[in-house]
């Protein structure tokens, strides 16, 4: 189980940038720049195949220190991000028009969590002189690294086996494999193939179904998977079926991690109700989907109180958003293997100090950033 240092739970947007500070440093200016990330290879999930992914970059400046820019990333996932449902473009115009109002708007956590994450991290970057060092410490000094899992996307059996060999040869000792899109027997064959070469002591295997199993078939499929020493399976059922999910968590021979189930659950009372109803073994945290960093930290506190494990993953951010998540993850001293290996997925990602070696995400403080955005 991961752990969390409770003393570090101090990330609050109002503590970072109080209203009095806003008045002191007026006028604030926020620019918002759209950017489309392009995958090296199609990324297959049970919800479909991704070729591109959209992000918006929030650039924050103020007149008294015009050379300092804070940058945050608003990363949206179609079908998952609440921002995709309606008036997001209108909201972006309002943020640009009234930045003082929006940087302190707590309601963003419930309606625009990815935008909240972008504003939180842009503010923290600005506070730290725009150097992309949001949480200084051993990670950003290059002294400590974060263990991460290698991600195996859905594809043909041959493609998935090729990915598995590449990840293992790169030094990963934990793999996360997407399941639920191809024939289940073929997926079992792939898992059987993995275990024929690597037992659970040599290789930890996580699965992610993205809600692909039906309530009537899920337990049977999990029982068929259980002989292969599966660490956990994320979201076996489609979100929004708390009764079925609770029963599955109770009976499953494989520990269950909630992912999409957490989306749209923002108030403390709602979070408590969900955790106490379903009793999952793990929860998966994505700041861009769960109310920003402050929203994710609230989930962590509630999970710790219930002895529920957790780990942190990205929502397919570019290196800008991934950098913020990684630094926060290191800052709260999260233990265990995290899901932060997505930076290499894109053809047009930004050059950054982040790099992956032997299944570890590290930060090279001598590597300069190269961010090619039309920043005014």
Kindly name the residue from 132, 176, 178, 221 that is annotated as catalytic: 178
Q: Which backbone phi and psi does 206 adopt, to 5 degrees? A: -105, 145
- In angstroms and rounded to an integer, the radius of gyration of the C-alpha atoms of the chain is 20
Asked about 286 being catalytic, the answer comes back as yes
Kindly name the residue from 53, 176, 221, 286 that is annotated as catalytic: 286
Q: Where do we find the tokens 């233990």?
A: 335
Q: How far apart are CA 194 and CA 198, in angstroms?
A: 6
Contact (CB, 8 A) for 221 and 237:
no
Q: What residues contact residue 66 under an 8 Å CB cut-off, 6+ apart? A: none
| Cα angle for residues 354, 143, 122 (degrees, 5° grid) | 45
Where on the phi/psi map is residue 336: left (φ > 0), alpha (ψ -120 to 50), or beta? left
Asked about 178 being catalytic, the answer comes back as yes
Q: What residues contact residue 360 under an 8 Å CB cut-off, 6+ apart? A: 145, 146, 147, 148, 171
Return the active site residues: 178, 286
């Amino acid at each position: 189980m991961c752990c969390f240092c409770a003393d570090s739970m101090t990330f609050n947007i109002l503590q970072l940038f109080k209203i009095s500070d806003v008045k002191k440093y007026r006028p604030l200016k926020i620019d918002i720049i759209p950017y489309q990330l392009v995958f090296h290879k199609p990324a297959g999930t049970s919800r479909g195949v991704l070729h591109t992914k959209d992000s918006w970059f929030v650039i924050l400046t103020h007149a008294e220190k015009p050379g300092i820019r804070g940058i945050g990333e608003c990363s949206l996932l179609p079908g998952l991000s609440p921002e995709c449902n309606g008036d997001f473009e209108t909201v972006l115009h309002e943020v640009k028009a009234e930045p003082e109002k929006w940087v302190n708007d707590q309601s963003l956590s419930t309606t625009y969590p990815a935008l909240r994450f972008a504003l939180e991290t842009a503010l923290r970057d600005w506070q730290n002189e725009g150097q992309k060092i949001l949480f200084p410490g051993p990670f950003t000094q290059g002294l400590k690294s974060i263990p991460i899992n290698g991600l195996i996307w859905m594809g043909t059996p041959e493609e998935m086996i090729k990915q598995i060999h590449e990840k293992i040869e790169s030094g990963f000792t934990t793999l996360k494999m997407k399941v639920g899109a191809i024939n289940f027997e073929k997926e079992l064959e792939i898992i059987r193939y993995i275990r024929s070469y690597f037992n659970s002591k040599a290789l930890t295997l996580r699965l992610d179904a993205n809600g692909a199993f039906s309530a009537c078939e899920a337990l049977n499929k999990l029982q068929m998977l259980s002989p292969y020493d599966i660490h956990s399976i994320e979201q076996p059922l489609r979100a929004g079926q708390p009764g079925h999910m609770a029963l599955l968590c109770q009976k499953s021979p494989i520990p269950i991690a909630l992912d999409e189930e957490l989306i749209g659950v923002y108030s403390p009372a709602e979070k408590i109700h969900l955790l106490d109803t379903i009793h999952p073994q793990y929860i998966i945290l994505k700041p861009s989907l769960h109310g920003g960093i402050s929203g994710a930290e609230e989930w962590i506190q509630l999970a710790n109180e219930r002895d529920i494990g957790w780990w942190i993953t990205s929502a397919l951010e570019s290196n800008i958003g991934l950098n913020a998540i990684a630094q926060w993850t290191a800052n709260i001293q999260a233990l265990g293997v995290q899901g932060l290996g997505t930076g290499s997925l894109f053809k047009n990602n930004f050059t950054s100090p982040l790099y992956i070696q032997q299944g570890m995400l590290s930060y090279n403080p001598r590597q300069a950033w190269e961010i090619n955005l039309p920043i005014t």
